[in-house]
Amino acid sequence: MSGPNVLLIITQDTKEQEAHYVRQILEGAGCSVIHLDPSIRRTVGGAEISPEDVAGAAGHTIEDVRALGHEGKCQAVMTEGAVKCALAAHEAQGLSGVLSIGGSMGTGLAGSVMQALPYGLPKLIVSTMASGFTKPYLGVKDIAIMNAVTDVSGINSISGEVYRNAALAVAGMAKGYTPVAASTRPLVLITTLGTTEKSVKPIREALESDGCEVMVFHSSGAGGPTLDGIAAERDVALVLDLSLTEILDHIHGGLADSGPDRGKAAIGRGIPVVFAPGNSDFIISGPIEVAEVQFPGKKYHIHNPALTAVRTDLEDLKPMADHLAAMFADAKGPVSFFVPLKGFSNHDSPYGHIHDPSIPGPFADYAKSVMPGNVEFRTIDAHFNDDAFADVIIAKARELLAK
């Protein structure tokens, strides 16, 4: 067939019927199917990329893999091979979509494959794991996941419709997919939340008017790591890390905890970075009854039934300053840290619910005392969301971009 190429990832050793069913729907919708079969137990045949091909791409024979006798070790080899096969297929034939169907093992392998493929390429996982903890499967890529509802075990009146809908969805996306050429504009990455958008919006608009491509990320647990992933891979001109929720939550066990390496990618590559303590006035916790147990004796703002903003005090913020100082000391490029003295977010303002004007000044004093000598440290007599603070960030960004 001459339609758009769709990579189909299904193991035929346990899901042969499902693989044939989905293939027929994709081909019926006008797609050319490249079936990647990472089966271990047996080779059924008919797949464009066979289990032997997958194992071989990882430097093994399929017999070697089977002889390992350990599902985790087998999975590791086949995942490595599957990623290499998928990338080779994309380079040689040009993929317009990727669809996988499976349980936890198949989802793990397919997630690794999809995370290795470029942003924008349509990616859909149908999985029994879709209603649970999905972060390991999705990573920071634009991967959609659909609940399989029933186990992936034969075709029934529910699963048949789920698989059909998934195949037609990918077919539709694949037909409309056109790879976007890489931008030649300077790329600027920014973090924010809705509580600091009033300041970030004019910053974004000013840099866009200067001819930059600006990507803004929601720092609620996935946005920051996505920014870091792009900073590690792409030619990034500047990072404005203006929302530190994920770093603060890592230190204190909040819901937006993004791990100990959050924020390090740009610093390690020498990309100019400007940090500011946007949204550091609160830790993100769960429902109010959970927040009151996890962070007793604090001020709380119920953001919605699932999320509570827990007011930080100076002792909560000092460890964040220490963490940043240690991170900044390893910077290979210019680092700035700008602290607004009249509040860190909309919540921390006269219009907010957890405003405390006594904290920013002492925090700035402490942060200045621990910052290494390579950091440009400044305080701004304004609220984070004031035009005056945005103007300082814009001016600094333009200065760094000019260099």
The one-letter amino acid code at 134 reads: T
Expressed as residue numbers, the domain containing 26 is: 5-176
Same domain, 35 and 130: yes
Residue 118 is part of a domain; what is its CATH number?
3.40.50.12020
Percent of the chain with pLDDT over 90: 91
245-252 helix and 314-328 helix, angle to the nearest 10 degrees: 110
For residue 399, give both structure tokens.
Answer: 């200065």
At 296-352, the pLDDT tens digits run 999 999 999 999 999 999 999 999 999 999 999 999 999 999 999 999 999 999 999
Give the whole-angstrom CA distance, residue 127 versus residue 348: 41
Same domain, 230 and 103: no
pLDDT of residue 183: 82
Same domain, 171 and 266: no
Same domain, 168 and 212: no
Q: 136: pLDDT confidence band, cut at 50, 70 and 90?
A: confident
Same domain, 242 and 168: no
Give the whole-angstrom CA distance, residue 162 versus residue 171: 14
At 50-95, the pLDDT tens digits run 999 999 999 999 999 999 989 899 999 999 999 999 999 999 999 9
Give the whole-angstrom CA distance, residue 192 versus residue 353: 19
Record the pTM: 0.84
pLDDT of residue 1: 57
Closest CA to 320 of 263, 374, 389: 263
Q: Are 14 and 104 in contact (CB under 8 A)?
A: no
The mean predicted confidence, pLDDT, of the chain is 95
pLDDT of residue 140: 84
Residue 213 is part of a domain; what is its CATH number?
3.40.50.12030
pLDDT of residue 91: 96
- Which residue is associated with the tokens 């931008």? 183
At 362-402, the pLDDT tens digits run 999 999 999 999 999 999 999 999 999 999 999 999 999 99
Mean pLDDT of 146-168: 93
The pair phi, psi for residue 200, each rounded to 5°, is: -70, -35
Same domain, 46 and 165: yes
pLDDT of residue 139: 85
The one-letter amino acid code at 61 reads: T
Mean pLDDT of 84-110: 95
Closest CA to 100 of 22, 20, 21: 22
CA 133, 10, 145: angle at the middle one, nearest 5?
30
Of 55-59, 177-181, 355-359, which gets the smallest average pLDDT?
177-181
Q: Final residue of a domain: which of 176, 206, 234? A: 176
Asked if the structure places residue 156 within a domain, the reply is: yes
Asked if the structure places residue 106 within a domain, the reply is: yes
Q: Final residue of a domain: which of 143, 176, 209? A: 176
Same domain, 25 and 116: yes
Residue 353: pLDDT over 80: yes
Asked if the structure places residue 366 within a domain, the reply is: yes
Asked if the structure places residue 78 within a domain, the reply is: yes
For residue 288, give both structure tokens.
Answer: 């109010």
Asked if the structure places residue 303 within a domain, the reply is: yes
Q: 13: pLDDT confidence band, cut at 50, 70 and 90?
A: very high
Check residue 132 and report its DSSP letter. Answer: S
Mean pLDDT of 162-167: 95
Give the whole-angstrom CA distance, residue 293 versus residue 302: 14
Give the whole-angstrom CA distance, residue 261 versus residue 319: 15
Percent of the chain with pLDDT over 70: 100
Mean pLDDT of 194-217: 96
Q: Final residue of a domain: which of 151, 176, 201? A: 176
Same domain, 291 and 323: yes
Q: 134: pLDDT confidence band, cut at 50, 70 and 90?
A: confident
Same domain, 140 and 207: no
Beta-bridge partner residues of 33 = 6
Domain count, the chain: 2
Q: Are 289 and 253 in contact (CB under 8 A)?
A: no
Same domain, 333 and 271: yes
Give the whole-angstrom CA distance, residue 103 versus residue 125: 10
Asked if the structure places residue 363 within a domain, the reply is: yes
pLDDT of residue 176: 93
Closest CA to 78 of 105, 118, 115: 105
Same domain, 119 and 235: no
Asked if the structure places residue 182 within a domain, the reply is: no
SS3 percent helix, strand, coil of the chain, rounded to 5, is 45, 20, 40
pLDDT of residue 137: 85
Same domain, 159 and 195: no
Asked if the structure places residue 181 within a domain, the reply is: no
Give the whole-angstrom CA distance, residue 92 versus residue 109: 21
At 217-270, the pLDDT tens digits run 999 998 999 999 999 989 999 999 999 999 999 999 999 999 999 999 999 999
